[in-house]
């Protein structure tokens, strides 16, 4: 470690540097807190399984042109609906003779794109609305929470359908529609967390030091809300993938010939009895990725639960 | 802030209540006392007697109050300004609840400095840690790595680092065990002598207040029933029947110990 030479206190190894209970710099304190969480997450085999699958998904999406045996768009009508394993089609071919494996590999990009955009936007909107409502209270709370209630009162997919039909079909609009329908639960969680925090002595203390509402919300309340939101987001990821797939299935998400997994299921529906693999393969992909996110979410809940770590 | 050197804190006809109309509960009724600049004043009483509520009224943490509260010779309006926060700081009762669980000691202290626009952040943090008797290895620790007494020292450091003149102490030792209580009380006594601070201390423990304060107000049921000096307290010269009961109970406890 290059840091050791500068510091009066010696750490004989990186491990010791990370696990010391007397850090000597801001960064060391931060890194060692992160490392402790990682150690706890690592001891949870199911969460590690989830992380492995998700890392593999990212890797597959990133190196799709190298991995895919064929172009996802090349049609070969002579080889249409080839069963898995025959004629060089490992997972079979679809009704236009396109290789399903290649389409799944390229489809991972679309799935990751949708999931990461929604996972970034929806909790941030919810965090803003929820913490502002919870901390400021009064009529701001009433107005923001009634808006949240209105959004919550609609079934998610129906509302997303309405948004997409209004905005026009396409992946960007599908993302926007999913964000617009999925922020209310995050706002609810953030508000509930804020209500338990706002009257804590440490918030009173910072108020007595003259901090304004904006500073208290962003620097003192947000860090405590984020962990429960992160957990909730990973648990919702499966739902986000399914909503995106549902929109694709209904023809309102990704448009042909885009290899989005939901749209692929939709296309395979016509042949589901005679040619099961066309719809089953993308279904399996959605299942595996959803499962991975759920397992990771469970693991993160154990690591990040503020009640547990504040003991 | 215009400094009237004799005036620390003054309260006149202060009432504090919670709820409205039928649900109104009067927590403090017609309270009045003065704390001279550089003095130390104790508020004693049982739980629910309104002593902590008085501190919260001074700091503006309760919404409903009436009467006159003045700090350093200046009457407070409903909104406390930056001047108030740089002159008055508070140490809370429970050190397990008064430190942000996701902030290191360093973060807590530098946040206070940046709110009040201080420079020399590094030197000031090291200085204040030294003042409250914490080694500099504590600087980057998280609250969950600290004991109760260490946490309370950090809370005192947080209050002191912005160089206030008045410190409000809300039962600063009641959540700590007995040996640590004495350490914190000695620390507070030393800091007052070194920095010429004004203390307003709330406690249910007559012995603690007798050790720390020169003037004492006894509260019961939201009212101040008696004001007495520490000499009167030590000589057990109380006039009000409630104060006598408190004194008797305290003496009794001493004998048993």
B225 vs A2, which has greater pLDDT?
A: B225
Q: Among partner residues A26, A200, A206, which is closest to B111 by beta-carbon distance?
A: A206
What's the rounded mean pLDDT across residues A236-240?
83
pTM of structure: 0.82
**Do A208 and B85 make contact, defined as CB atoms within 8 angstroms?**
yes
Q: Which residue has the tokens 């030792």?
A: B173
**Do B100 and A204 make contact, defined as CB atoms within 8 angstroms?**
no
Q: Which residues on chain B are in Cβ contact (under 8 Å) with A306?
A: 101
Burial of B120 (0-12, 13-18, 19+ CB in 10 A): exposed
How close B103 comes to chain A (CA, Å)?
A: 9
pLDDT digits (tens, 9 = 90+) for B117-158: 998 898 999 999 999 989 888 888 888 888 999 999 999 999
Q: Which residue has the tokens 């599908």?
A: A174
Instruction: Give the DSSP per-residue string, A201-223.
Output: HHHHHHHHTT--HHHIIIIIIHH
Instruction: Give the DSSP per-residue string, A26-57.
Output: HHHHHHHHHHHHHHHHHT-HHHHHHHHHHHHH
Instruction: Decide: helix, strand or coil at residue A171.
Output: helix
Q: Which residues pair with B11 in a beta bridge?
A: B33, B69
Q: Is A74 on the interface with B (CB under 8 A)?
A: no
What pLDDT does residue B257 have?
66
pLDDT at B3 over 50: no
pLDDT digits (tens, 9 = 90+) for A121-154: 999 999 999 999 999 999 999 999 999 999 998 8
pLDDT interval class at B6 (50, 70, 90): low
How close A201 comes to chain B (CA, Å)?
A: 5
Q: Is A25 on the interface with B (CB under 8 A)?
A: yes
pLDDT at A300 over 80: yes
Q: Which residues on chain B are in Cβ contact (under 8 Å) with A29?
A: 104, 106, 140-142
Q: Which of A184, A57, A67 is nearest to A127 (CA)?
A: A184
pLDDT at A311 over 60: no
What's the rounded mean pLDDT across residues A49-71?
91
Q: Which residues on chain B are in Cβ contact (under 8 Å) with A198?
A: none
Instruction: Decide: helix, strand or coil at residue A145.
Output: helix
Q: Phi and psi at residue A112, in whole multiples of 5°? A: -65, -40
Q: Which of A298, A307, A293 is nearest to A112 (CA)?
A: A293
Q: Is A200 on the interface with B (CB under 8 A)?
A: yes
| Structure ipTM over 0.90, yes or no | no
């Amino acid at each position: 470690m290059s840091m050791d030479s500068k510091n009066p206190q010696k750490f004989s190894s990186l491990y010791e540097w990370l696990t010391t209970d007397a850090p000597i710099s801001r960064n060391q304190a931060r890194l060692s807190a992160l490392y402790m969480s990682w150690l706890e997450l690592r001891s949870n085999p199911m969460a590690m399984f989830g992380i492995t699958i998700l890392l593999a998904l990212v890797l597959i999406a990133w190196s799709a042109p190298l991995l895919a045996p064929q172009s996802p768009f090349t049609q070969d009508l002579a080889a249409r609906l080839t069963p898995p394993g025959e004629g060089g089609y490992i997972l079979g071919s679809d009704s236009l003779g396109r290789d399903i494996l290649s389409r799944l590999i390229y489809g991972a990009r679309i799935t990751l794109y949708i999931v990461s955009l929604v996972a970034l936007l929806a909790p941030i909107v919810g965090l803003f609305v929820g913490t502002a409502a919870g901390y400021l209270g009064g009529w701001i709370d009433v107005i923001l929470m009634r808006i949240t209630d209105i959004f919550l009162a609609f079934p998610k997919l129906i509302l997303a359908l309405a948004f997409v039909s209004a905005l026009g079909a396409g992946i960007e609009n599908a993302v926007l529609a999913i964000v617009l329908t999925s922020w209310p639960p995050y706002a609810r969680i953030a508000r509930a967390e804020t209500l338990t925090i706002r009257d804590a002595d440490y918030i009173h203390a910072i108020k007595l030091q003259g901090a304004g509402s904006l500073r208290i919300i962003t620097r003192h309340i947000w860090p405590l809300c984020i962990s429960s939101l992160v957990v909730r987001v990973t648990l919702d990821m499966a739902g986000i993938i399914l909503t995106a797939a549902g929109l694709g299935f209904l023809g309102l998400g990704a448009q042909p010939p885009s290899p989005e997994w939901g749209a692929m299921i939709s296309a395979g529906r016509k042949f589901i009895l005679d040619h099961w693999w066309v719809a089953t393969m993308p279904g399996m992909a959605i299942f595996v990725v959803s499962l991975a996110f759920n397992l990771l979410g469970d693991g993160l809940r154990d690591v990040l639960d503020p009640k547990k770590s504040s003991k | 802030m215009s400094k009237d050197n004799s005036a620390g804190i003054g309260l006149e006809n202060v009432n504090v209540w919670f709820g409205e109309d039928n649900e109104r509960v009067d927590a403090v009724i017609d309270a009045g006392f003065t704390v001279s600049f550089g003095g130390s004043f104790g508020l004693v009483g049982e739980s629910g007697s309104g002593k902590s509520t008085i501190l919260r009224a001074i700091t503006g943490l309760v919404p409903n109050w009436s009467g006159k509260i003045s700090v350093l010779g200046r009457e407070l309006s409903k909104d406390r300004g930056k001047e108030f926060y740089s002159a008055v700081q508070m140490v809370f009762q429970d050190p397990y609840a008064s430190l942000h669980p996701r902030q290191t000691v360093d973060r807590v202290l530098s946040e206070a400095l940046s709110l009040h626009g201080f420079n020399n952040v590094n030197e000031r943090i090291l200085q204040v840690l030294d003042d409250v008797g914490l080694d500099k290895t504590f600087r980057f620790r998280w609250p969950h790595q600290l004991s109760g007494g260490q946490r309370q020292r950090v809370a005192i450091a947080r209050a002191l680092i912005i160089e206030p003149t008045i410190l409000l102490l809300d039962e600063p030792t009641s959540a700590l065990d007995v040996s640590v209580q004495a350490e914190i009380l000695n620390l507070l006594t030393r800091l007052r002598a070194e920095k010429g601070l004004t203390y307003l201390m709330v406690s249910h423990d007559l012995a603690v207040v007798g050790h720390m304060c020169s003037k004492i107000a006894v509260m019961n049921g939201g009212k101040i029933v008696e004001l007495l000096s520490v000499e009167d307290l030590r000589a057990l010269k109380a006039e009000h029947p409630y104060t006598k009961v408190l004194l008797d109970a305290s003496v009794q406890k001493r004998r048993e110990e």
